[in-house]
C-alpha cells in the first residue's frame, strides 16, 4: 500500500490547480510536462486578448495599437532577461522555439565561425534538437570545403554529462561544448561547473534549458553560458515561441540566419549591413501572441516562486522513486534513481519486464495516466531503449503519484 500523505506537497497553495482549465474536473492524471506544460488561465486570456482586441503588428506602424505592442514586447524581453539571469535585455532573442533557437546558434554562429578542423563536443543521447543541428552544420560546412568534427561524450549513471569524459576529449580545436541543462529523459542536471577554470575561456558553452526553464531556477550568468535556449510551451507558454540567450561577448561574431523584415539589416552597394542585437536574429514578424503569452507565463511562474516549484518537483520525484522501487522488475534509466542523495527535478524514466514501453503507456492511458513512451526524441544508439517517462509540475500531487505507482505495480504483477 502507498504511504499516507497529504494530497498536495508542501509549498503549493490549494488554488494552484484551479489556474489550469484543462485539469479542472478531469479524472485523468497528466504526467507529461516534459513534453509540454498545461496552460494557466492568464496565459489563455492573453492569447485571446491579442486576437480579440487591438490586433496589430509591432514595430510596423506609428499608431497606438502598433506602438503599444512594441512597448509590451520590450517589457516581456526585459522580464525574460531577469527571469533567466541575463544581464542585458539585448541578450534575449525571441525565436520559434528551442529547436529554432539551437538551429540559430548553428547557423548564425557556426557557419560564420567554424573553420576546417574545428571541433564541437556534444552528447549523442541528448534531445535530437541538440544533436541534429550540429550534424546539419557539419554537412553544410563540408559543401564549402570546411570539415569540422563532432565529438560525442558520455552520460553518467545519474543522467548527467560526464565532465571527466569532456575534459579528456577537449583539444585546442574545441570551439563549443553543448549540453542539456536538464536531460529530457534521464532527469539529470548538468551545470558543467566542474569545468570552470579547467578549459580555455575561448571555448563557448551552450545549454539546452528546455526542461529546466520553468521547472527550477535558471541563471545563465551563473552557468557561464554563452548560449542558452528555452521552450515557452514547457514553461506555461504557447507553442511556437522560445528564447535564445546570447552573451554579449559573442554578439559581434554572429550573422543573421533569417534576414528579412524586422531583422535590422540593410542592403547597400557593399551588400547587407550588420544590425545590432537582438534584431539581428529576429527577422520577420514576431509570434506576437506567443511572446505576450510568454510574459504572462513568467508572471505566473514568479508568483509561485521558482524555488518552491523546484522543491515541489523534487518531493514528487522522491515519492515516485520510492513507489516504483517497490514494483517487481522495475528498471530505471540513468537519472536520480542512482544518485547518492535525494535529488530530482520532476523527470523519471523506467521499464518493466514482460511488457513494451508503448504497450505499458497505452494501458496506463486507458487507466487515466498520461505519460510519454518510446525513445522520446533521442537519436538512439545501442545504449538507448524505449521507456516510460513520468514528468511532473506544480499542478501534480502526492495522491496522483501514489495512485500511479500503485497502478504500475498492479500491471507488473499481472504481466510477470
pLDDT in tens, 12-56: 556 888 899 999 878 899 999 999 999 999 999 999 999 999 888
Round to whole Å and give the CA distance between 103 and 136: 9
Round to whole Å and give the CA distance between 401 and 381: 31
**285 pLDDT above the threshold of 90:** no
**145 pLDDT above the threshold of 90:** yes
What's the pLDDT tens digit per position in 165-202? 999 999 999 999 999 999 999 999 999 999 999 999 99
pLDDT for 352 equals 96
pLDDT for 321 equals 97
**1 pLDDT above the threshold of 50:** no
- How many helices (H) and strands (E) the chain has is answered by 11, 15
Angle (CA) 171-176-179 rounded to 5° is 115
pLDDT for 384 equals 67
pTM: 0.93
Residue with cell 570539415: 147
Round to whole Å and give the CA distance between 391 and 30: 9
Residues 6+ apart with CB under 8 A from 54: 65, 68, 69
Contact assessment for residue 323 and residue 379, using Cβ atoms and an 8 Å cutoff: no
Tell me the average pLDDT of the chain: 92
Structure letter (DSSP) for residue 310: H
Lowest mean pLDDT among 45-59, 260-274, 288-302: 260-274
Which residues are the active-site residues? 377
pLDDT for 264 equals 67
**4 pLDDT above the threshold of 50:** no
pLDDT for 380 equals 61
pLDDT for 152 equals 97
Mean per-residue pLDDT, 121-149: 96
Residues of the chain with pLDDT > 90: what percent?
A: 80
Mean per-residue pLDDT, 64-71: 89
Amino acid at each position: 500500500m502507498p504511504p499516507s500523505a497529504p494530497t498536495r506537497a508542501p509549498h503549493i497553495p490549494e488554488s494552484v490547480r484551479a489556474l489550469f482549465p484543462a485539469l479542472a474536473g478531469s479524472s485523468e492524471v497528466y504526467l507529461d510536462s516534459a513534453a509540454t506544460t498545461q496552460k494557466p488561465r492568464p496565459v489563455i486570456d492573453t492569447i485571446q486578448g491579442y486576437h480579440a482586441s487591438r490586433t496589430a503588428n509591432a514595430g510596423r506602424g506609428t499608431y497606438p495599437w502598433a506602438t503599444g505592442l512594441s512597448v509590451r514586447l520590450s517589457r516581456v524581453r526585459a522580464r525574460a532577461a531577469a527571469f533567466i539571469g541575463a544581464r542585458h535585455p539585448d541578450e534575449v532573442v525571441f525565436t520559434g522555439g528551442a529547436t529554432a533557437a539551437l538551429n540559430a546558434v548553428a547557423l548564425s554562429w557556426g557557419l560564420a565561425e567554424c573553420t576546417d578542423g574545428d571541433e564541437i563536443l556534444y552528447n549523442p543521447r541528448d534531445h535530437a534538437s541538440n544533436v541534429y543541428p550540429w550534424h546539419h552544420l557539419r554537412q553544410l560546412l563540408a559543401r564549402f570545403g570546411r570539415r569540422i568534427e563532432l565529438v560525442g561524450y558520455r552520460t553518467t549513471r545519474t543522467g548527467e554529462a560526464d565532465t571527466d569524459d569532456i575534459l579528456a576529449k577537449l583539444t585546442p580545436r574545441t570551439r563549443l561544448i553543448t549540453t542539456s541543462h536538464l536531460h529530457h529523459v534521464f532527469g539529470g542536471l548538468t551545470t558543467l561547473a566542474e569545468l570552470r577554470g579547467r578549459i580555455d575561456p575561448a571555448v563557448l558553452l551552450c545549454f539546452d534549458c528546455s526542461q529546466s526553464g520553468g521547472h527550477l531556477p535558471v541563471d545563465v550568468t551563473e552557468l557561464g553560458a554563452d548560449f542558452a535556449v528555452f521552450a515557452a510551451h514547457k514553461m506555461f507558454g504557447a507553442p511556437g515561441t522560445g528564447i535564445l540567450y546570447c552573451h554579449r561577448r559573442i554578439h559581434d561574431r554572429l550573422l543573421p540566419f533569417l534576414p528579412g523584415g524586422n531583422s535590422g539589416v540593410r542592403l547597400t552597394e557593399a551588400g547587407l549591413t550588420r544590425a545590432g542585437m537582438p534584431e539581428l536574429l529576429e527577422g520577420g514578424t514576431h509570434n506576437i501572441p506567443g511572446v505576450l503569452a510568454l510574459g504572462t507565463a513568467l508572471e505566473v511562474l514568479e508568483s509561485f516562486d521558482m524555488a518552491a516549484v523546484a522543491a515541489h518537483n523534487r518531493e514528487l520525484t522522491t515519492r515516485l522513486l520510492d513507489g516504483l522501487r517497490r514494483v517487481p522488475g522495475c528498471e530505471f534509466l540513468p537519472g536520480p534513481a542512482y544518485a547518492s542523495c535525494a535529488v530530482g527535478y520532476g523527470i523519471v524514466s523506467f521499464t518493466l519486464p514482460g511488457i513494451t514501453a508503448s504497450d505499458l503507456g497505452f494501458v496506463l492511458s486507458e487507466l487515466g495516466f498520461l505519460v510519454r513512451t518510446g525513445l522520446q526524441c533521442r537519436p538512439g544508439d545501442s545504449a538507448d531503449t524505449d521507456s516510460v517517462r513520468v514528468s511532473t509540475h506544480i499542478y501534480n500531487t502526492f495522491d496522483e503519484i501514489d495512485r500511479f505507482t500503485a497502478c504500475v505495480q498492479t500491471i507488473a504483477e499481472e504481466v510477470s
